[in-house]
With several copies, the nearest count.
Chain A
Amino acid sequence: MSVGLVIVSHSEKIAEGVVELAAQMAPDVVLAAAGGTGDGTGPARIGTSFDRVQAAIERADGGDGVVVLTDLGSAVMTAEMVLEFLDPGARERVRLAQAALVEGAVAAAVQAQGGSPLADVVRAAEGAVVSL
């Protein structure tokens, strides 16, 4: 197993795109997208969804920990709220990274692919340099 990643974005497309991009270099890492709002039957609106974030964390949690990356501030608030509702056991395996979403996700995914522990994956996300 390895650390899993959750990609929280206001946009469903961004979350799915980050997953496809990071998956290329980390085929064995579970990458769960939680983008947009999941309400109604129409296309996802722009926003964040407590339920999608919660479900994505469950999907990504294989026991070695989960790193959650977010885009804008309200995605962070949604993610923090979800974390408060996790069982204490699961809660201690989940970290919110303060990272650039796309760049941090790729770096974290590669780190997780290498089998690194949770703290190292968080560090990789937060230390990712932006392009150029």
Chain B
Amino acid sequence: MTQPLDARWAVLWIHEAARVVAENRARLIELDRAIGDADHGENMDRGFSAAVAKLDAGEAPGTPAAVLKQVAMTLMSTVGGAAGPLYGTAFLRAATFLGDAEEIDAAAAAGMIGAARDGIVARGKAESGDKTMVDAWTPATDAAATATQSGANASEVLAAAAAAARDGAVATEPLIARKGRASYLGERSAGHRDPGAESTALILQVAAETAGGRVA
């Protein structure tokens, strides 16, 4: 049931990400309304729709890295909020990590997630516990590394990462934000899930699902 994580998979992943983001648009907006400016769903939907339109319009890029690089550039240009440079950097660093590999194996899957996380940290300078998307990406990175070490295949690595991102997103709820707009709220930011951590969980979940893995 697993499929090779090649350029075709990367395109499928982005298509599914766009679909799930669109489906969760209102929910992401509501999460952002509580502790931000109520646009994360709109920002993400706009960005991923544009990324899909771009992929569908041209000849499909030949490697996973080429797909992710094109997605990065499109997100950067179209999202309009913090998520633009953050996800833009994440996909760009993932692409750079993958290089010209035709297919992503378990180690590459884990490495790509870690590279994305490192890009987000470099861009936004948030630490773990600051109640940002980093709090989904960091556990995802750690889970992917652990899974790889215990011999999981690529799709199992993605499934482990997705499950950890989901837990990480839920775990942002009691936190007090220290980065991004939500930090303006101080203690009032506690009790709400971080929208960027939630969108991260969604996107990693469809990565795993399109790879044929089951997310726990």
Contact = CB atoms under 8 A, between A and B. Distances in A.
A51 B39 contact: no
Interface residues of A, number: 23
A51 B77 contact: yes
A45 interface: yes
Interface string B30-50: 000000111100010010000
B80 A77 contact: no
Given A24-B39, A81-B89, A74 B82 contact: yes
Contacts of A48: 80-81, 84
B176 to A, nearest CB: 13
* Chief secondary structure at chain B's binding surface: helix
Interface in A90-116: 106-107, 110-111, 114
Contacts of A45: 39, 80
B99 to A, nearest CB: 19
Contact of A110 (B79, B81, B184): B184
Contacts of A111: 184
Interface of B: 36-39, 43, 46, 76-82, 84-86, 88-89, 123-124, 179-181, 184-185, 188
Q: 7 closest Cβ contacts across the A-B interface?
A: A47-B80, A74-B82, A37-B80, A77-B85, A24-B37, A110-B184, A81-B85
30 contacts: A24-B38, A25-B184, A39-B46, A45-B39, A46-B37, A46-B39, A47-B39, A47-B80, A48-B80, A48-B84, A49-B77, A51-B77, A73-B82, A73-B179, A74-B81, A74-B82, A74-B84, A74-B85, A74-B180, A74-B181, A77-B85, A77-B86, A77-B124, A81-B89, A81-B123, A106-B184, A107-B184, A110-B184, A111-B184, A114-B188
